[in-house]
Copies of this chain bind each other. A is one copy, B any other.
Amino acid sequence: MDPLSGTVGEWLKGTGPESDIVISTRVRLARNVKGEPFVNRASAAQRAKLERGLREAVEASGVLAKMLYFDMTSASEIDRAFLVERHLISRDLAGGEGPRGVAVNPSENVSIMINEEDHLRIQVIKSGLQTRPTWNRIDRIDDTIEKSVSYAFSPQLGYLTACPTNVGTAMRVSVMMHLPALVITKEIERVFYAVSKINLAVRGLFGEGSQAASDFFQISNQIALGRTEEQILQTIESVIPNVVEYERRSRDALLKESRAKLEDRVWRAYGILKNARMISSEETMEKLSALRLGVNLGLVRDVDIKTVNEFFILTQPAHLQKNAHRILEPKERDAVRADYIRRKLGGG
């Protein structure tokens, strides 16, 4: 993983529309090779051939300015966890078996998993609320790859995928949002309810199966079948700005009605991050969320949002262990995590 050490994905830089509330916009497409069995039905030899062929096709296509390839069969457990933490691969790819890997570009905007659930899982991720630019980018990548790879496609059903819920566009659009004010005011439940009514899903920071950690939520389309890409994009585009507006109004209300309490929460969180000698992953999330809110509201001025965003990735277990060049027990991690954050923040 050394090519990625010392950097984080460009999508964490904290720019782009609504980036005080929207961390990132991500689109992923699932694709399979025509005439080949799905991954879960392929033999070891078939998987190996698929992996080799697709890796070469992606490289030859030139969709990745410079391609970094990580082979999962030779990667260590920590290296695989490291890629999960960076949102470059899924837990399924990390924990799977057989020939499989991921191609990534150096800025980490694009990742292409090979032999995850589907032969190809293409992902583009951008900072802030950028549904169209993200879609346009992935659409071009998809078209380019299609020039050398024949996709399994049915004129009636659309793209064929291993799991029936993906059949059709095989597209998922996910928007990662930071909604601390809605959590504080307990209005978040109403957002969940409204969003689920129109078949959007709400997940945690680390995608499917992960709990909504702290105040971060991924909103994404649930179903692909029977809808066009345009319809999916429009649904997301019609919902997210409302959630953004809702969160923004909650923040204004908190500033107006309980500013002292809000400032206290923000500064205590900052004080803990700058001074703790041991801090769990869970508490880190909670305190970073408060700090992020404080930075975005202009209450804390000596930390930039990029630093805070990056902490969410850099304080994860595999990142801490890569950084320390050794395996760390959970207790040790809490100490190493606290030291890492404290030093970066110039704490006591």
Question: Count the A residues whose beta carbon is within 8 Å of the partner chain — how many?
Answer: 20
A263 interfacial contact with B, CB 8 Å? yes
Contact of A260 (CB < 8 Å), options: B268, B275, B277, B302: B277
Does B275 lie within 8 Å of A268, measured CB to CB?
yes
Which residues of chain B come closer than 8 Å to A271, judged between CB atoms? 268, 271-272, 274-276, 347-348
Using a CB-CB cutoff of 8 Å, which residues 248-278 of chain A contact chain B? Answer: 260-261, 263-264, 267-268, 270-272, 274-278
Instruction: Decide if the interface of chain A is mainly helix, strand, loop or mixed.
Output: helix
A335 interfacial contact with B, CB 8 Å? yes
Query: Distance (Å) between the CB of A99 and the closest chain B CB?
Result: 43
Which residues of chain B come closer than 8 Å to A302, judged between CB atoms? 348
A129 interfacial contact with B, CB 8 Å? no
Which residues of chain B come closer than 8 Å to A270, judged between CB atoms? 275, 348
Does B272 lie within 8 Å of A348, measured CB to CB?
no
Which residues of chain B come closer than 8 Å to A277, judged between CB atoms? 260, 263-264, 267-268
Query: Distance (Å) between the CB of A272 and the closest chain B CB?
Result: 5
Query: Distance (Å) between the CB of A263 and the closest chain B CB?
Result: 4
Using a CB-CB cutoff of 8 Å, which residues 126-140 of chain A contact chain B? Answer: none
A338 interfacial contact with B, CB 8 Å? yes
Which residues of chain B come closer than 8 Å to A274, judged between CB atoms? 271, 275
